């Protein structure tokens, strides 16, 4: 089990593509990547979860932490996800009200800042 | 055999050391067992989340307490549901000295809330001689029953008869 992370720039946004399983073992890797992005001045981040097979509460915590970090810089953190099993986790925990969740990276980038 | 979660005798028992890297393997095995009972895809995903979250809490507690005793998982196939019992030897309520995780989110509370939303009849208790027991069950769904038998469809999985005794 591993977590693959790939970062690319699209205009003002940094797109972080995540593939694999996000749990208590792999979430620290995602946390470090988000911290690094913000430290490098990327305050508008799109996290693409389309290739994520599993997400637990530790992963949710990391994403919330990332959101707080970019908001400290008046930035944004948006998610891309169409997988029902992952969306269900966000719905149950009420985090659909916290994160803008889009069906594609293009939609996320073109969405108005909240 | 032991009875678990009021469902029936133990069908499959797993034991693994409290290491976070093994949670993916636990999810894989639990998913395979659930699939063999005929559980649907959504139920399997719910089960994997519930078991993984519960075990992650146990792994954290055991690690902080410096306890290496294995975590045990019993899966019990009932006529229309799958029962799960998870046992660990962590001292009750071992708190993370670092407090809530990233972003001031209490991952532990979030995880337990998630489990409570995904499963039925969630029960947690402290075992008489120490450690914690968590049990719950998930419905397999009427469409999942084996039409030939009207119910069970789990293969024996080739499990040995000499499974280790429970922690209790």
pLDDT of residue B142: 47
Chain A contact set for B111 (CB, 8 A)? 56-58
CB A21 within 8 A of CB A31: no
Nearby residues of B3 by Cβ (< 8 Å), 6 or more positions away = B9, B10, B76
Under an 8 A CB cutoff, do B52 and A92 touch?
A: no
**Chain A contact for B53, CB < 8 A?**
yes
Give me the sign of the Cα torsion angle B31, B35, B39, B41: positive
ipTM of the complex: 0.93
CATH topology for B3-144 is: Heat Shock Protein 90 (3.30.565)
- pLDDT-wise least confident of B2-11, B54-63, B92-101: B92-101
DSSP B42-94: HHHHHHHHHHHHHHHHHHHHHHHHT--PPEEEEEEE-SSEEEEEEEE-PPTTP
Give B4's pLDDT tier (boundaries 50, 70, 90): low
Whether A6 contacts A14, CB under 8 Å: no
Q: Is the pLDDT of residue B155 over 70?
A: no
For residues B27 and B91, the answer to whether their CB atoms sit within 8 Å is no
Q: What's the Cα-to-Cα distance from A102 to each of A11, A42, B147, rounded to whole Å?
A: 18, 20, 41
Contact B56 A89 (CB under 8 A): no
Q: Residue A56 and residue B42: Cβ atoms within 8 Å? A: no
CB B84 within 8 A of CB B5: yes
On whether the CB atoms of residues A66 and A34 are closer than 8 A, the answer is: yes
Q: How far apart are CA A55 and CA B98, in angstroms?
A: 22
Report the Cα A82 to chain-centroid distance in Å. 13
Tell me whether residues A57 and B45 touch, CB distance under 8 A. Answer: no
- B93-145 confidence digits (pLDDT tens): 665 655 555 555 677 788 888 999 999 999 999 998 889 999 999 998 644 44
| Nearest of B1, B160, B4 to residue B87 by alpha carbon | B4
Inter-residue contact B17 to B70 (CB < 8 Å): yes
Report residue A93's pLDDT band, with 50, 70 and 90 as the boundaries.
very high
User: How many residues would you count in chain A?
Assistant: 114
- Partner-chain contact B42 A64, CB within 8 Å: no
User: Does domain A3-110 correspond to CATH entry 3.40.640.10?
Assistant: no
At B94 the pLDDT is 63
Which residues in chain B (91-150) have CB-CB distances under 8 A to chain A?
Answer: 100-105, 107-108, 110-111, 113-114, 117-118
Among candidates A23, A24, A61 on the partner chain, residue whose Cβ is nearest the Cβ of B105? A61
Report the SS3 class of residue A31: helix
- B-chain residues near A21 (CB < 8 A): 24, 27
Residues of A in Cβ contact (< 8 Å) with B117? 92
Going by DSSP bridges, is the β-strand pair B132-139/B120-126 parallel, antiparallel, or unpaired? antiparallel
Domains in chain A: boundaries: 3-110
Mean pLDDT for A9-19 is: 97
Residue written as token pair 């290491």: B19
Interface residue of A34, A56, A68 to substitute, partner B, most B CBs within 10 Å: A56
* Interface residue B17 vs chain A (CB under 8 A): no
């Amino acid at each position: 089990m591993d977590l693959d992370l790939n970062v690319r720039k699209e205009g003002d946004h940094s797109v972080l593509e995540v593939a694999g399983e996000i749990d208590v073992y792999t979430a620290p890797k995602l946390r470090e990547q988000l911290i690094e992005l913000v430290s490098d001045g990327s305050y508008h981040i799109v996290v693409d979860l389309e290739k994520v097979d599993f997400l637990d509460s530790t992963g949710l915590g990391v994403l919330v932490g990332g959101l707080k970090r970019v908001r400290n810089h008046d930035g944004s953190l948006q998610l891309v996800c169409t997988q029902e099993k992952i969306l269900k986790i966000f719905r149950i925990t009420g985090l659909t009200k916290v994160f803008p969740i889009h069906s594609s990276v293009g939609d996320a980038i073109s969405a108005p800042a909240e | 055999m032991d009875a678990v979660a009021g469902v029936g005798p133990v069908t499959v028992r797993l034991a693994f050391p409290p290491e976070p890297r093994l949670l993916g393997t636990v999810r894989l095995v639990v998913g395979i067992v659930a699939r063999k009972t005929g559980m649907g895809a959504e139920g399997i995903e719910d089960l994997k989340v519930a078991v993984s979250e519960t075990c992650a809490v146990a792994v954290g507690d055991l690690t902080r307490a410096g306890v290496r005793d294995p975590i045990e998982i019993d899966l019990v196939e009932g006529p229309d549901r799958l029962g799960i019992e998870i046992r660990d030897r962590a001292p009750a309520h071992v708190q993370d000295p670092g407090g809530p995780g990233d972003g001031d989110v209490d991952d532990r509370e979030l995880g337990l809330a998630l489990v409570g939303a995904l499963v039925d009849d969630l029960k947690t208790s402290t075992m008489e001689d120490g450690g914690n027991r968590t049990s719950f069950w998930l419905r397999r769904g009427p469409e999942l029953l084996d039409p030939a038998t009207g119910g069970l469809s789990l293969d024996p999985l080739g499990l040995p008869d000499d499974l280790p005794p429970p922690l209790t």
